[in-house]
Structures are given as structure tokens and as C-alpha cells.
Amino acid sequence: MSTQQQEPESQESPQDPEMKGTESPQQRRLREKQEGMVEDQAEKETEVEGETVHLKVFRYDPEVADKQEPRFDDFHVPFEKGMTVLDAVMYARDEFDSSLTFRHSCRQAVCGSDAFFVNGKQRLGCKTQISDLQQPVRIEPLPHQEVVKDLVVDMDHFYDQMHAVEPYFQNDDTPDSSDLEEQRQSRENREKVKMSTRCIWCGACMSSCNIAAGDNEYLGPAAINKAYKFAMDDREPEDVKEHRLRILEQEHGVWRCQTQFSCTDVCPKDIPLTEHIQELKREAVKKNLKFW
Ligand code: SF4
Ligand code: FES
């Protein structure tokens, strides 16, 4: 069982109290999110050590007659310091019920496969410490997605939306000197898109979004963030940028976002999703401005 602690993500928010007056709304949210996590951990870390963790895990299997009715199963798992939600469900599967089904792979917040709805919030199982959670720990599949089995949801629609924004570099110009030379990005431009590149396709943001829940065609925060990465890349030519903005300003694109910040709150990689969506709205307005 892994006891590996996650390293803190890069510090994008001001830590100096004197800087708090100058921070943007996004930086304030990120700081509050990080401070809240630290305080929760300090408060609860010793509470469950040496005890068992009570899990309530969603169960459903459409292919087994007596499991077609959704229910919650209780598991009592021995707690170990550093135990994550993923560690706990793996223990439950390995020791109590081998039919318990969920996705996981890297166990270090890289592959994005273990996003669950834990105690009412979208979280990565491998990045969520059991000691940070109230018990019983309620673990469900991501809301607003079709459940395939237990904690596994159908991600096809999410992937379709990601592909709808053409998530690949589009520039036919090759450097003069050699066909194989890399197309370099300036340091400043790389800094601008840096956060958007951190997406691990976990689907937590899409699942938390009220707009996506009511509009199945809405591109969603992850896809728009992916488009942001390319739309802001200086190396793509103007006609490609216009093409990207046309995709983003369609009826189910950026204008559907109501700046509720739910996506930003749940993103395990702390990507400023709402900020990126607003910036693309401004770009779309600028593109359509006409001067007579
Ligand atoms: S933007 Fe964040 S929450 Fe959304 S899919 Fe990417 S990593 Fe997950
Ligand atoms: S197992 Fe890969 S992100 Fe959690």
C-alpha cells in the first residue's frame, strides 16, 4: 500500500501576506484551496491513525442480475499514515471483494484515470488523503456521466468534446534550416500557456459543471482549456487562430460558461479554467469588433 505523500504543486498563488491585497480572484481561490487543505490535514491527521476507515462505496453492475439495483457497500479498511482514497478502495477490492471495479494506473496524479466523487466532491483518488476526509468516506462514480460498472464511468463523450477543439498543433511552416528542427516557443509564451498544459484528462471539471450537466453539447472546461493552449500559442498562424475562435464562440462554446468556478475548484492540477474561458471570451469579442 502506497504511503507516498504528494509533493505540493507549483506555487502560483502569493504566499506572502503582504501580497494578498494584489492577488487576482483566481490566485485568491487557489490560495484558499491550498490553505484549506493544509488546515484540514493538520486538524484530522491523528484522528484515524491506528483505526479502521469506514468506506461507503457505490456499487452497480448492469450485467449481474442481483447487482442491477444501485446500492452502497460498506468496507472497513485498516488505516495507515499516508493512505489515499485509491489505496483504501484497492485494499477493499484486494481483501474483501474482488468484483469491486474502478480505474487506476499511475498512483501519482499523472494518468487521470481515478477521478471519483468523494464525500460530495470530484477528487483524484490517488491525490486525496483519507486523513483529510470525514467518515464514513462516501465514494461514488463521477456525476453526470453514464455508469458502466461500480466506479467506472463512460468517458466517450468527454473525449469527443476534447477532440472537437482539434487538440493538436497546426502550423505548416517548417523552420528554414532543417525539416527536422524543432519549432521553438518563446519562454514568455510558454509561461503563458504553462498551466493549461497540465491537464490529465480526468474529467473532474466536466463532471462538476452545471452547464455541462444541462447542455450535453457544451464543450466543457477541459476542452476549452485544451483549445486555450493552442489558441494562445504564438507559433500558430492567424488563420488557424481564427478557426479556433470560430469553434469556441459557437452556441455551445465559451459563452455557455456562467463563471461558477466549480471546474476551477475541483481541478486536481489547479488549472485556472474559469480564467482561461474568460480570456477566450475576450479574444472572441476582439475578433468580432468592427470599426466603421
Ligand atoms: S482541466 Fe483539470 S479537472 Fe479538467 S480534465 Fe484537466 S486535469 Fe481534470
Ligand atoms: S492513478 Fe493515475 S491519476 Fe490517480
Strand partners, 59: 71
Domain boundaries, the chain: 52-152, 155-172+185-288
Q: Indicate if ligand 1 lies below 6 Å from the C-beta of 133.
A: no
pLDDT value, residue 291? 66
Q: Which residues have CB under 6 Å of ligand 2?
A: 104-107, 109-114, 124-126
| Tens digit of each residue's pLDDT, the chain (292 residues) | 433 333 334 444 444 545 556 776 667 777 776 676 555 554 454 455 568 999 999 999 999 998 999 999 999 999 999 999 999 999 999 999 999 999 999 999 999 999 999 999 999 999 999 999 999 999 999 999 999 999 999 999 999 999 999 999 998 776 666 666 778 899 999 999 999 999 999 999 999 999 999 999 999 999 999 999 999 999 999 999 999 999 999 999 999 999 999 999 999 999 999 999 999 999 999 887 766 6
Q: Is ligand 1 within 6 A of the CB of residue 205? A: yes
Ligand nearest to the CA of 4: 2
Residues 6+ apart with CB under 8 A from 66: none
Task: State in Å: Cα 162 to ligand 2 middle.
Answer: 19
DSSP track, 132-200: GS-SSEEEEPPTTS-EEETTEE--HHHHHHHHHT--S-------SS-TTS-----HHHHHHHTGGGG--
> Relative to the alpha carbon of 109, which ligand is closest?
2
**Residue 167 burial (C-beta neighbours within 10 Å; 0-12, 13-18, 19+):** middle
Please give the pLDDT value at position 19: 53
Quick check: CB of 222 below 6 Å from ligand 1?
yes
Which one of 2.60.40.1180, 1.10.150.120, 1.10.1060.10, 1.25.40.10 gives the CATH number of domain 155-172+185-288?
A: 1.10.1060.10
Q: Is 269 in the pocket of ligand 1 (CB under 6 A)?
A: yes
- How far is the centre of ligand 2, averaged over its atoms, from the C-alpha of 67 (Å)? 27
pTM over 0.85: no
Torsion of CA 210, 216, 217, 219, to 10 degrees: 50
Atom of ligand 2 nearest to the CA of 114: 4
**Res 46: pLDDT:** 41
Nearest atom within ligand 2 for CA of residue 105: 1
Residue in 113, 194, 197, 271 to alter for ligand 1 test, most ligand atoms within 8 A of Cβ: 271
Residue with CA at minimum distance from ligand 1 atom 8? 202
Other Cβ atoms less than 10 A from the Cβ of 81: the count is 14
- Tell me, what's the pLDDT at 14? 42
Fold of 52-152: Ubiquitin-like (UB roll) (3.10.20)
Residue from 269, 274, 275, 276 to probe ligand 1 pocket by mutation (most atoms less than 8 Å from CB)? 269
- Decide: 195 in ligand 1 pocket, CB within 6 A: no
Which atom of ligand 2 is the closest one to the Cα of 268? 3
> In this predicted structure, what is the pLDDT of residue 13?
43
